[in-house]
Amino acid sequence: MSTPPAPSDEDRLHALVDGRLPPADAAAARAALGAQAVADADAWQGQRAELRELHAGLLQEPLPAPLAAAAERLQARLDARRAWWRLGGLAASVLLAFLAGWLGRAQLDRNAAPGPALAQAAPLQRFAHAATVAHALYQPEVRHPVEVPAAQQEHLVQWLGKRLGRPIHAPDLHETGYELVGGRLLPGDGGARAQFMYQRAGGERITLYLGAVQASAAGPAPAASAAETAFRFEHDGNTSAFYWVDQGFGYALAGNLPRAELLALATLVYRSL
């Protein structure tokens, strides 16, 4: 077997400066290297020690605000992606469970009609679930959180109202510290849905999701349920929503906020609409 080549003087010099040599090898390197090389090594080691001492305080300083904000945005995106996959898996499991139950019921009684409570709950639950998923997907976005910015609010509400088939407006939440960021068009059951996004100074965002809520295919909804519903609460992962129906039109205010705070905002939105 061939023996590996001996390290060059330059390699030994750098190893000596970096402190990578055992004491015996360091002493041998000093003896083998010339006096000038040893003097250079000592000078470099001194410079290294001074630089470390000069910047030692940086290790104790807090992370700069821009870097901390960037780290928080990255973490929020990762959390949103996890929530998206988790919610997608949850939706699939719910669908499978529903189909299994429905097929089992059909085998027991092919002529039985679905109960009115289940028939009316399903469209609202799908509406609320879509609102929380849309919030989790878009609220972490930095460059493209909305399709149309708040600076074009008049165009935004006209465009969305035309697509939803009725006049709409973006509630003014200025008194709560939330300012309109803008909005976007989204797909929904049987038609278009809209999403308005708001943000306050601390970076917290809430979204208002709205659109027509279709009656169940099993039959028309009872008049009271079709016209209006009380506030209902939905919680998916880190996202919560209060949602309601008024004259067949659904609204859901979603955010990563405590329940009481989100309820107060939903009440304000309801009154402004």
Statement to judge: residues 55 and 147 lie in one domain: no
**Residue 206: count of CB within 10 angstroms of its CB:** 26
**Token pair 């803008």 in the structure block, residue:** 182
Statement to judge: residues 153 and 258 lie in one domain: yes
In this structure, is residue 117 part of a structural domain? Answer: no
pLDDT of residue 179: 96
pLDDT of residue 70: 67
pLDDT of residue 147: 94
Cβ pair 209, 251 in contact under 8 A: yes
- Amino acid letter for position 208: L
3-state helix, strand, coil in the chain (%, to 5): 55, 20, 25
Query: Please, which residues bridge with residue 193 across strands?
Result: 186
The CATH number of the domain where 202 resides is what?
3.30.200.100
Element (H, E) at 58: none
DSSP 151: G
Residues 6+ apart with CB under 8 A from 58: none
Q: Where does the chain show beta strands of DSSP type E?
A: 148-149, 179-188, 191-199, 205-212, 232-236, 239-246, 249-255
Number of domains in the chain: 2
CA 227 from centroid of its chain's CA atoms: 33
pLDDT of residue 83: 59
pLDDT of residue 110: 42
Statement to judge: residues 241 and 151 lie in one domain: yes
What is the spatial distance between Cα 20 and Cα 40, in angstroms, rounded to a whole number?
A: 17
In this structure, is residue 120 part of a structural domain? Answer: no
pLDDT of residue 220: 42
Statement to judge: residues 37 and 150 lie in one domain: no
- Alpha-carbon torsion 136, 139, 142, 145, what sign? positive
pLDDT of residue 50: 74
pLDDT of residue 78: 67
Q: What is the pLDDT along the chain (273 residues), one digit of tens a residue?
A: 444 444 567 777 777 777 777 888 878 877 887 788 778 788 887 887 777 777 666 656 666 676 667 667 777 666 666 655 555 555 555 455 545 554 444 444 444 444 444 345 578 889 999 999 999 999 999 989 999 999 999 999 999 999 999 999 999 999 999 999 999 999 988 789 999 999 999 899 999 999 998 755 434 444 444 456 789 999 988 899 999 998 889 999 999 999 999 999 999 999 998
In this structure, is residue 101 part of a structural domain? Answer: no
Phi, psi torsion values for 181, nearest 5 degrees? -90, -40
What is the spatial distance between Cα 146 and Cα 149, in angstroms, rounded to a whole number?
A: 6
Q: Residue 215's domain spans which residues? A: 126-272
pLDDT of residue 58: 61
